[in-house]
Chains A and B, each alone.
Chain A
Amino acid sequence: MTHFLEFAGIKHYFGAVKAVDGVSLTVKQGEVFSLLGPSGCGKTTLLRICAGFQHPQEGRVILNGVDITELPPEKRKVNTVFQNYALFPHLDVFENIAFGLRIAKRSAVDVRQEVERMLDLTDMTEHARKRVVELSGGQKQRVAIARALVNRPQVLLLDEPLAALDLKLRQRMLVQLDSLHDEVGITFLYVTHDQGEAMSISDTIAVMNRGKVEQTGSPAEIYEAPRSSFVAAFIGDTNFFDGVVKEIDGDYSLVAIEGLGAVRVFNDKQLKVGGAVHLSLRPEKIHLTVAEPPAESSRNISRGEVEEIIYLGSATKYWVRVGDYRLAVNRVHRRFGLDEKPIRWKDLVWLSWHSDDGYMLERYSEADEELLSLPDTETETEPLAVDGDSHE
């Protein structure tokens, strides 16, 4: 079924705050669907509306063909994994998982079998009789998942399930969650503010901002073809340019960018000459070299001065001054980094990028530039004596 879970025109305001402002989404059966956005974007409110903790002021929630908008939470075939897990502190692991089954008045044998199955699935069998306070973060998380899944919900709602864990554990749990999804095949509605998490686990992502859905699509679509400056800037890092179409050359167009010059980009929006253009260009798509690259009609080439360098281990991030722009460039280290002749502060370098890599945005807002990771341009801070070497 393609329309397994549907949100139709959901609106929910808290006073003057438009938490959810007209959201319509469809979730396919069995997929992992993520609601991704910064805090306060309305993703959690939408999840709570789906769970039944909040009643939307407008709109319907339809699950498997049934309108569940008016149902109280206990009557919905959805279960939630809460952000802080919300495990019952007065019950042990086993009884936490059994809670829903006991309320459904299942037989003692059933309860034991089902709970043991879930304990096994989440690898918690040996901790069955532990008290909640004795568990580690990762274990609590697994109990929370088991407690929800044991009721065989039609949709499992996960509210920032990994937010409380540290980085390494988060990565491990993400893999476990993914394989768990493959095993149970239940539809997941996954709320997160972490784009990496959403990218790696989701089949479909809906990026939300200020109560509205900015874009829905597969992780690759969202990353490679962002529709708005918000999506481009919130997911990964990017460079923005404003310009005007000057010439059209088949599928490509020559765009004049004030303070940078003319660049050639793929014209997927079929803009006419004179049309305003907002471009997004991912830092890793820009090729940085010390030597001048050979001229190629499909590549844009410019020369600039390195203004800032951040070494990231797997890659190095450079900010290069080209005309009025300061471009973020990512360069992955393919060889042993210490062998390469290092690029230093104030070096002149060449930048080149393929005409297909600059992506035209439908909507642009200057406020979204705030989301980009830029070095502080206002104040040139005095370098500390200890690591001033990059400024030589």
Chain B
Amino acid sequence: MSKLNGRLRGINLGELMLTLPSLGWLMVFFILPSLIIFAIAFRTADAYGGIGDSWTLETILRLVNPNYPGIIWRTIWLSVSNTVICLAVSIPVAYYLARMDRRWRQWAMLLVVVPFWTNFLVRVFAWKTLLHTDGTLRHFLVWTGILGADQPLLYNSGSILLVLVYTYLPFAILPLYAAAEKFDFNLLEAARDLGASSPHAFFSVFMPGISRGIVTASIMVLVPSLGSYVIPEMLGGVDSDMLGNKIAQYVYTERNLPRASALAAVLILTVLIPLLGMMYINNRRQTRDRKEITDTLSHHTGIRA
């Protein structure tokens, strides 16, 4: 009886009650605001930094301004380089962690996770100190002759990339470790047994074996780094703006919200490309995808590390 009444157009009432709070929250505070970005990109700006009453195409058209393609390009290449470096470092690390003795592995994982838990601005500040003109590192590098006396370590694309790698490395290590931990290392022996050298076995058996982890890690590094804001602002120079801090500049310095929205819309579209790519890849092996993320998160929190 109650079951019959509880059904509403095929959807269980209990299900609806469980789903509605989170679904509703995200619809109101996530989806709706994202749509507003696209709407405001077509509005005029008023003189007080607010949003005008009329519609315009001008803001969108101004995106062709020679400044923007450069910023978009820099954003993309810094993010892609960051992703590639993070993967290149994390894959051997994940391999090593997964093969480590259980007792030591716990401690090693703890050491990898701690920087992830450390306050982000503290980390940025630490690098700023380390790379500072009067900092020990620069003195040391100048002294060894690696660095010229007038070459700065800070305020260029190099310093941005360095700190991007620093920030996102744990995001790559964790999903890769989650995948490597489930990898059957007998397969490497099987490959060796069939005549593969150790590096060959690594590339032809281990890498395909953790491919899901590689996809997850790429997304977890690439997408947030496309939206980097604090790092380029704190460590970049005048010529190393990325999309993120340009958006912030329009909000706070130039007080032009429609223009900020237009750039944010560009960022959304840029971010959607890798996300759709991942969905395409995962479509072929859909069911495992969510396990991947939950496993990664369980390593984040140190449970079952």
Contact = CB atoms under 8 A, between A and B. Distances in A.
Interface of A: 51-53, 72-74, 78-80, 82, 84, 86-90, 99-100, 103-104, 147-148, 151
A88 B187 contact: yes
Contacts of A100: 194-195
Contact of B194 (A53, A90, A99): A99
Contacts of B211: 90
B197 A88 contact: no
B200 interface: yes
Interface string B182-197: 0010110111111111
Nearest to B194: A100
Interface size class of B (residues with CB under 8 A): 10 to 19
B52 interface: no
A295 B184 CA distance: 64
A103 B196 CA distance: 6
B197 A74 contact: yes
B92 interface: no
Contacts of B208: 88, 90
26 contacts: A51-B189, A53-B189, A53-B192, A73-B189, A74-B192, A74-B194, A78-B193, A79-B194, A80-B189, A82-B186, A82-B189, A82-B190, A84-B184, A84-B186, A86-B187, A88-B205, A88-B209, A89-B209, A90-B208, A90-B211, A99-B191, A100-B195, A103-B195, A103-B196, A147-B194, A148-B193
A86 B190 contact: yes
Contacts of B205: 88
Contacts of A148: 193-194
A53 B194 CA distance: 12
Contacts of B198: 72
Contact of A73 (B184, B193, B209): B193
Nearest to B184: A86
Nearest to A103: B195
A51 B198 CA distance: 15
Contacts of A78: 193
A141 to B, nearest CB: 14
A72 B201 CA distance: 13
Q: Which residue among B192, B194, B205 has the maximum number of chain A CB atoms within 10 Å of its CB? A: B194
Contacts of A103: 194-196, 200
A225 B187 CA distance: 41
A172 B198 CA distance: 36
A52 B196 CA distance: 13
Nearest to A84: B186
Contacts of A86: 184, 186-187, 189-190
By secondary structure, the B interface counts as helix
Interface of B: 184, 186-187, 189-198, 200, 205, 208-209, 211
Contacts of A73: 189, 192-193
Contacts of A90: 208-209, 211
Nearest to B190: A86
Contacts of A87: 190
B94 to A, nearest CB: 17
A147 B187 CA distance: 13
Q: Which residue among A74, A78, A90, A151 has the maximum number of chain B CB atoms within 10 Å of its CB? A: A74
Nearest to A73: B192
Contacts of A72: 192, 197-198
Nearest to A72: B192
Contacts of A82: 186, 189-190
Nearest to B192: A73
B292 to A, nearest CB: 15
B196 A74 contact: yes
Q: Which residue among A72, A84, A90, A148 has the maximum number of chain B CB atoms within 10 Å of its CB? A: A90
B195 A80 contact: no
A278 B205 CA distance: 54
Contacts of B189: 51, 53, 73, 80, 82, 86
B196 A80 contact: no
Nearest to A78: B193
B190 A80 contact: yes
A99 B195 CA distance: 9
B198 to A, nearest CB: 8
Contacts of A53: 189, 192-193
A84 B185 CA distance: 12
Given A86-B189, A104-B195, 9 more contacts: A73-B193, A74-B194, A78-B193, A80-B189, A80-B190, A84-B186, A87-B190, A88-B190, A147-B194
A87 B184 CA distance: 10
B195 A151 contact: yes
A311 B198 CA distance: 55
Q: Which residue among A79, A82, A86, A90 has the maximum number of chain B CB atoms within 10 Å of its CB? A: A86
B183 to A, nearest CB: 10
A91 to B, nearest CB: 8
A90 B205 CA distance: 8
Contacts of A104: 195
Contacts of B209: 88-90
Contacts of B193: 51-53, 73-74, 78-80, 148
Contacts of B192: 52-53, 72-74
A80 B195 CA distance: 11
Contacts of B184: 84, 86
Contacts of B200: 103
Contacts of B191: 88, 99
Contacts of B196: 74, 99, 103
A84 B190 CA distance: 11
A278 B211 CA distance: 60
Nearest to B200: A103
B102 to A, nearest CB: 15
Contacts of B187: 86, 88-89
Contacts of B195: 74, 100, 103-104, 151
A377 B56 CA distance: 95
